[in-house]
Amino acid sequence: MDEAKLIEIITTYFKDKIFENHKINSLKTHSKLKSYKINPILVKYLSKILEDDFSPLGIAKALYYPRILGTSINTSFGTRIQNMFVELNLASGSLIKGMDIEFTDKIDGRKKWCQLKSGPNTINSEDVNPLLKKFSTVTNLARTNAMNLNNSDLILGVLYGEEDQLSQHYRKIDAQFPVIIGKEFWHRLTGFAEFYDKLVVNLDTMILDIDTEDFFKQGYMALAKEIESSDLFDFE
């Protein structure tokens, strides 16, 4: 598949499988009061700072905004991209526990076992040792089974960002196993050196052309209406 075609397919995948699903879930699930676990003290405070009042609309925004703008799409992003790589035959799902995908590196021609992360700041200090343990376990398994594998074949692939943006947590991992980020990762995966930059441009154009149909407001207004009639709150 040529570069332009692959970029177009991935751009469409983002639109249909990531952004459209986010919209559907925002209206179908996250606009329902039952989908939230509510801290009654915090929600009253957040309502006050959002709407200067303890009101159904304030509570709706306090619940809905962080879910839709953060948790909802960030949680699904990595899984969707992993599935996309497999569906487009850029990689296969890994049979080794602890690894997400396997693919042939288009730069060095060697097979890579890869765990995926979204961005350069998406792990914490407590994630470092468990990740290193996973990689070390795979290394030991390879030795036991006489696999043609060395440390540089086990990589942590970061989907977006620049090398100088990598947190210190990633750098600790990189000291033992390669952390490949952004442009270089997509080059190794697709074989096209400028693929990442071109994809970002294409995605930017697509995003600016999206008709949101004001779904964000629809969602929190539906939630506010349900809150208004709920017995959980007393607005008197």
Instruction: Using alpha carbons, select from 111, 113, 79 the residue that is nearest to residue 99.
Output: 113
How confident is the model over 11-38, as a mean pLDDT?
Answer: 95
Q: Is residue 94 part of a domain?
A: yes
**Structural domain boundaries enclosing 87:** 3-228
Q: Is residue 208 part of a domain?
A: yes
Confidence (pLDDT) at 145: 66
User: Tens digit of pLDDT for each residue in 220-236?
Assistant: 999 999 999 998 888 87
Q: Is residue 234 part of a domain?
A: no
User: Tens digit of pLDDT for each residue in 95-144?
Assistant: 888 899 999 999 999 999 999 999 999 999 999 999 999 898 888 877 76
Q: Which residues contact 210 (CB under 8 A, 6 or more apart)?
A: 15, 19
Tokens representing 88 are 């487009």
Q: Are strands 111-117 and 101-104 parallel, antiparallel or unpaired?
A: antiparallel
Question: How far is C-alpha 163 from the chain's CA centre?
Answer: 18
**Residue 146: band (very low, low, confident or very high) from pLDDT cuts 50, 70, 90:** low
Q: Is residue 235 part of a domain?
A: no
Confidence (pLDDT) at 172: 96
Confidence (pLDDT) at 78: 86
Q: Is residue 106 part of a domain?
A: yes
Which sign, positive or negative, has the C-alpha torsion 51, 54, 55, 57? positive
Q: Is residue 78 part of a domain?
A: yes
Residue pair 131/123 in contact by the 8 Å Cβ criterion: yes
CA 59 – CA 44 distance, rounded (Å): 7
The CATH number that applies at residue 203 is: 3.40.1560.10
Q: Is residue 200 part of a domain?
A: yes
Confidence (pLDDT) at 46: 96
User: Tens digit of pLDDT for each residue in 56-70?
Assistant: 999 999 999 999 998
Look at the chain and report how many structural domains it folds into. Answer: 1
Q: Is residue 215 part of a domain?
A: yes
Q: Strand ranges (DSSP E) for 38-160?
A: 92-93, 101-104, 111-117, 154-158
User: Tens digit of pLDDT for each residue in 165-216?
Assistant: 999 999 999 999 999 999 999 999 999 999 999 999 999 999 999 999 999 9
